[in-house]
Structure 1
Amino acid sequence: MTRLRKLAIGTAGGAVLVALGSVGLWQLDRAYPPPLPEKLTVSAEVLDRDGQLLRAFATADGYWRLATGIDKVDKAFIDMLVAYEDKRFWDHSGVDVLALGRAALQFAGNGRIVSGGSTLSMQLARLIEPRESRSIWAKLRQIARAVQIERRLSKREILERYLTLAPYGGNLEGVRAASLAYFGKEPKRLTVSEAALLVALPQLPEKRRPDRNAKTAQTARDRVLARMVSANMLGEREAARAALEDVPTTRRDLPALAAHASFAALRIAKPGVPPQLTIRKSVQQGLEAVAREAAIRLGPKLSVAMVLADSRTGDILGEVGSSSFTDSGRSGWIDMTRTLRSPGSTLKPFIYGLAFEQGLVAQETLIEDSPADFGGYRPKNFDMGYQGDVSVRQALQLSLNVPAVRILDAVGPARLTARFRQAGANAVLPPNEAPGLA
């Protein structure tokens, strides 16, 4: 047999073995796929008119896990994360052989782990399939899973899943939940110090929790800053300034505004699509603060409800159903903005408006505020007192009841309800009862 023929046979045999090996690996990959759901289980969110987070809801297993896209995170943080955890992330296929080799040599020389060789893909494998022990077999399984993940997801998808699932201590998962809890803001714009802390925490999330172990968290953050200087991603002065910043020592609550409106929106929302309300976050915060303070002054078992609308568009900018959703003493779960009840003094501007429209009164027309009887109905003012002769302007400003009933008697209750029907607001009255003055 000639040498050339032997070479040809050997080459063919090698090719067959490679092919068989590839088929075998492909079969194993299909038989034991990684647990990669199409959509991660994340916290439900409700957004305000500008896309800001109004309210978040913990997942069924009690975690704050907010869906995180790369576009929702500061690019400087992404660059810092990749440089610190997996600098060849964009180039390898799940496993960084050079990093694994370096880690193995350091372990052999020092007798302990000096640096890890896990890529972000391997870390994602560990997050979706937690290992039971730290063993060589667990690491090999993690490597295999990382390769499988890279076959199924793009680099962007891998990074986004890591950003959503990375542990940050307690029941915080993902960089958005951590940024909101520790800094009170979304991670779209982070300081150098904040970005470095968020890079450092997932490695030892419980030991490095800044709200419990501030000194440990600060040391870990400073280590990241030093690495960024070595990688020429930060200047020494910039890193030194960042190291002077204190780490947060408290954990904030995640946004929890507009409880009633948020629950109502989620009931009709499309799965996986955060509902967006016309409410403006800053307005809602202000109204809820006013409601809480007013409820304290009113005393126990009394609550407050408010609605603020844009008069030009009709958009609801703020909606408070009760002073506190969780206050059982005030039945806070009841949305008083939607519960059927008497509108009370909110009718007065409409009554006076109809009177202006019909030319019955003007702003400075004098009207009598004194005891009166309207077919057996004797209205009284809230303070049980009377002002005498007042202008229509004053009567409305003081929310006096008797002048308003006088004007309604002149306008006619039926005309008022007819105007409301034209606007799409239908009064709910007892059966077979016509609208009246009371």
Structure 2
Amino acid sequence: MIIELRPWREGDLAVLERANTPEMTAHLCGPETDEEVRGRHARYLRLNAAGEARMMRIDVDGIPAGAIGYWQTDHEGVPAFETGWSVEPRWQGRGVAREALRQVTRLVAADGRRTLLVAYPGVDNPASNALCRGAGFEHRGSGTLPWRGGELTFNTWVLDVSPLDLAGRVPDVDERFDGSALDTERWWPFYTPQWSSRDASAARWSIGRGGLELSIAADTVPWAPALDGDLRVSHVQTGQFSGPAGSGIGQHRFRTGLSVTEEQPEHRGWLVRHGVIEVRLAAIRHPDVMVAFWPIGFEERPEDCGELCIAEIFGAELDDDGGWVGVGVKPQNDPRLREDFEKVRVHGDLTLMHDYAVEWTPERMRFFIDGAWVKTVVQSIDYPVQLMLDVYEFPRADGTRDTAALPHVLRVERVRSFALG
């Protein structure tokens, strides 16, 4: 199912007419008159032509399915854009409105004229309120106003799509990998070795003028065959916490029934709790490969294990025009979190250096690519995390490897963290 937003055109009056039914306007105090619908259609065209709004038709596989847009307003004295939408009954419950709203948030962020997006769904409209919540909007109260001869009681939802602003801020840590060796006071060059061993999970790394390189070569062995098959990894992390051999205590419990096979020393190299975390790296375009940067809970308490996925890039999802970058929050085994993760389409060559970042407060996480806002997650993670930086080679079903493409090399120019501003 392909969901596209197309500019509002003269021939789109029928979309508004189909939306003007008692069923479709139940949360808006009922239908408008035919004259009011024609006036709305003319207003959409006029606002688009003047650049004061961006009103669009929602198409599903080329079929008109509803309308959405954003237009200029003020919110508590601050210039903002307001958004609203309607989706025809046959398309409801299929993720159409969710994807349309997601596309609108990206358009507003790219627009740049106003960085606040607001929505005012009726308090008795659970679907639209849930849609706002799922898109990262924050609830800021409710109100009542006259509407279509009656009164509409609405919720106020607000989304900040402003770009990342690090001007004048000094990082707590600015890792440029500019020495002759990896700083092992900061980095632990093994991939969760408690579930395997340091020998099997050791990183292949080198440092040159361009920064850190993590590589998977022809002689790289699977890191934990009994647990993870033929998956190969080259990885560094900035913390290590696990229990004695035979216990189930350890970070990144990626499956049930794990037991520590090799006891590890505790390592507190670089732990972060709130602020900005940023990496500059280049992805790898190969169908067997993924690169990722995903801080996880240090996990002194087993429930403190959530993941901030700042960048997860599969080589199979890169093409000549760009690629998909996974961002968001994964609970792993933290029962207080819900998964809120999505893949964002990014234009440009992702095998070149790009910046990926999260701005993390006790209330929310805002994710950025090259400084531009791409996603907000309104959840609380309030414990220290360690940084996890890696390249994976996934096994093929037939057991073969593309040896001609080896080594797979992840290049990382820098990693930085900033305290809350």
Same structural fold, with TM-score higher than 0.5 when normalized by the shorter chain? no
Q: Whose RCO is larger (CA < 8 A, sep 6+)?
A: 2
TM norm structure 1: 0.21
Higher-helix-fraction structure: 1
